[in-house]
Chain A
């Protein structure tokens, strides 16, 4: 059962196989959750969105003929996230960290971040990156999508655009995380 593709498992679930859903859920449980957690303002927001994404997948279960399930699920997550931010006028910023401070590559992380370990620092800096860059980074690292898949998903059309956004994100994070590397 483990070697069955996501698409096949989802197809089986569409025919009423609950076990197939459990498997596919287990495969994307963490990555989807982390993608939303790193993209959202608070854990509560992330959990709400997480539930909403799965509900959407469950209730509108229709087997698709082409494309990957992975791209499908993260596309739903991204769309719901954007809708929510538009609706609530939320800014993609960390609760405690001022985005402008962290975004400036010339400055070191502020005093608040000194006490945190490197992992925590990275999480906070990630949230503080420009949305386009953090999104590409997360879609690559969490969803494991290819640059082409990301380009299609975020409708930039070109693989090169995605590549350059990812490169900027990495460069920015590297500067911010210098003391940890």
Chain B
């Protein structure tokens, strides 16, 4: 060992032995060996691919099942004409004992009055400004009347919209004024029979609540 230490240090790279060794690198594994290994790799790879198939399809089935169940439990929207369904929903709420809910104070969002969408065109307002004072005074109430009609239309649409969703039944149920407005809207839109039934239901629920005059004639 001490002799070896005295010798000059053998370089680790570009050593003639390393160069000679490179000439010996000729052997290769047999073709049969290659074939066996590649076949094994191929089998394993396809097994690996299939391994994802079952969890993936299971997840898809579960997702589909959950989605369908949710769809069946809570249908998102009722047909616009199905006010009767709305009444049924109210009935089922009562049967399920949710009739107590109205007695509790439920904060209802204040009915929003949409800003009238109808506006005078720019040039017509300019004409009003340019018109004589008398003409402007005539135009003012006319303008207000149009806005009033527009507000009523918006409110009517809101009420109809409110009746579309089953989940709104509880809101209507808990607010007699709102309920009466919906009934009034039903009758006005020609669904008198449904309106009368709803009115009878309303009377059962709120016997002492004063009815508006235009609905009194529909009380059976």
* Chain A positions near chain B (C-beta within 8 angstroms): 13-18, 21-22, 25, 29-30, 33-34, 37, 47, 50-51, 54-55, 58-59, 61, 118-120, 122-123, 126, 141-142, 163, 166-168, 170-171, 173-174, 177, 180-181
Contact string against A for B residues 123-139, beta-carbon threshold 8 Å, 1 for contact and 0 otherwise: 00000000000000000
Interface-forming stretch among B37-45, B90-98, B141-149?
B37-45
B27 touches A58 (CB 8 A): no
Q: Which residue from B24, B33, B41 sits with its C-beta under 8 Å from A119? A: B24
Given A16-B45, A58-B40, are A50 and B16 also a contact pair (CB < 8 Å)? no
B7 touches A171 (CB 8 A): yes
Residue of A nearest to B7 (CB): A171
Q: Would you mind naming 11 contact pairs between A and B with Cβ atoms under 8 Å apart?
A: A29-B34, A30-B27, A47-B30, A122-B21, A170-B10, A170-B15, A170-B17, A171-B10, A177-B17, A177-B20, A180-B20
Expressed in whole angstroms, the minimum distance between the Cβ of A102 and any Cβ of chain B is 15
Residues of A within 8 A of B45 (CB): 13, 16-18, 21
B interface, over-half SS: helix
Q: Which residue from A15, A61, A118 sits with its C-beta under 8 Å from B20? A: A118
Contact string against A for B residues 8-31, beta-carbon threshold 8 Å, 1 for contact and 0 otherwise: 011010011110111111011110
In the complex, the number of residue pairs spanning A and B with C-beta atoms less than 8 Å apart equals: 96
C-alpha gap A58/B47 in the complex (Å)? 11
Given A25-B37, A167-B12, A177-B20, are A18 and B29 also a contact pair (CB < 8 Å)? no
Q: Is B4 on the interface with A (CB-CB < 8 A)? A: yes
Given A167-B9, A170-B10, A181-B20, are A33 and B46 also a contact pair (CB < 8 Å)? no
B10 touches A29 (CB 8 A): no
B17 touches A173 (CB 8 A): yes
B16 touches A61 (CB 8 A): no
* Chain B positions near chain A (C-beta within 8 angstroms): 4, 7, 9-10, 12, 15-18, 20-25, 27-30, 33-34, 36-38, 40-42, 44-46, 48-49
Q: Which residue from A21, A37, A168 sits with its C-beta under 8 Å from B41? A: A21
Given A118-B20, A167-B12, are A54 and B37 also a contact pair (CB < 8 Å)? yes
Further contacts, 8 of them, CB under 8 A, given A141-B18, A170-B17: A16-B49, A18-B42, A29-B28, A33-B29, A37-B27, A54-B41, A61-B48, A177-B17
C-alpha gap A95/B83 in the complex (Å)? 98
Residues of B within 8 A of A180 (CB): 20
C-alpha gap A181/B22 in the complex (Å)? 14
Residues of A within 8 A of B25 (CB): 30, 34, 142
C-alpha gap A141/B19 in the complex (Å)? 10
A33, A118, A166: most-surrounded residue (chain B CB, <10 A):
A33
B17, B36, B46: most-surrounded residue (chain A CB, <10 A):
B17
B42 touches A163 (CB 8 A): no
A47 touches B33 (CB 8 A): yes
Residue of B nearest to A13 (CB): B45
Residues of B within 8 A of A14 (CB): 48
C-alpha gap A142/B18 in the complex (Å)? 11
Q: Which residue from A51, A54, A163 sits with its C-beta under 8 Å from B12? A: A163
Please give me the 7 A-B residue pairs with the lowest Cβ-Cβ distance, nearest first: A16-B49, A119-B24, A16-B48, A18-B45, A21-B41, A54-B37, A33-B29
B24 touches A122 (CB 8 A): yes
Residues of B within 8 A of A25 (CB): 34, 37-38, 41
B29 touches A50 (CB 8 A): yes
B44 touches A61 (CB 8 A): yes
Given A33-B27, A37-B27, A122-B24, are A16 and B46 also a contact pair (CB < 8 Å)? yes
Residue of B nearest to A173 (CB): B17
Q: Which residue from B16, B22, B28, B44 sits with its C-beta under 8 Å from A30? A: B28
C-alpha gap A126/B23 in the complex (Å)? 14
